[in-house]
Amino acid sequence: AQTVTQSQPEMSVQEAETVTLSCTYDTSENNYYLFWYKQPPSRQMILVIRQEAYKQQNATENRFSVNFQKAAKSFSLKISDSQLGDTAMYFCAGSRANRKLIWGLGTSLAVNP
Amino acid sequence: DGGITQSPKYLFRKEGQNVTLSCEQNLNHDAMYWYRQDPGQGLRLIYYSQIVNDFQKGDIAEGYSVSREKKESFPLTVTSAQKNPTAFYLCASTAGTSGTYNEQFFGPGTRLTVL
């Protein structure tokens, strides 16, 4: 069975600072994919970043980067230079190749001016 | 513009009534999914379809039904058997059916309230 755990229900950060959101993904599979999705107040779900488990290099998308520690089953999201528009729910999710996604419960992030 | 549309945005239902939520995509994606989102519970999979005329139950299929007669459409019916249907419903799609990963694209959602 696969499980995704987000241990931080709520977080806050000051504008322009850096924040890290935690996620653990427990699976016995060797080939899988991990994702961070963002859901702003509009409730539109948006993919932020994804990581293939077989890749050693951590994924980066502009101000968003991940720290993937495969042995520790850890998949954290770092947001640099936080902006007010980053205020949202952030969901971690994992899947095997094109199988259904397993979702964490989410972390509510507030960026304060 | 390519994307996923869901309608209506808000839906009100009286107890005992069936209602159908629409999901249409023009991305030419093969797979489509329905999720239910409740506060504090993340996203839970209701049904998914990897190909036209075929669909599988997700984790919380009881009280729901779907059809996939066309590639671009995947309507969800919330039946009177669903005991607590008030929730936010999200539809998603992906391009592939097997092999490599494909990103899930989401519609804007439908908020269903039972009166």
pLDDT digits (tens, 9 = 90+) for A2-50: 889 999 999 999 999 999 999 999 988 878 889 999 999 999 999 999 9
pLDDT tens-digit map of A67-113: 999 889 999 999 999 999 999 999 999 987 667 889 999 999 999 99
DSSP character at residue A81: S
CA distances to A2, A32, A81, A96, B7 from B99, rounded to whole Å, are 19, 11, 37, 9, 31
- Rounded distance between C-alpha atoms, residue B44 and residue B37, angstroms: 6
A44 shares contact with chain B (CB less than 8 Å): yes
**pLDDT above 70: residue B69:** yes
B-chain residue closest to A90, CA distance: B42
Put simply, the answer to whether A97 touches B99 (Cβ < 8 Å) is: yes
Picking from A44, A101, A105, the nearest residue to B40 by CB comes out as A105
Q: Which residues contact B60 (CB under 8 A, 6 or more apart)?
A: B36, B44, B45, B46
**pLDDT above 90: residue B93:** yes
CA distances to A10, A11, A38, B8, B100 from A88, rounded to whole Å, are 10, 10, 6, 23, 29
Rounded to the nearest 5 percent, the helix, strand and coil shares of chain A are 5, 50, 45
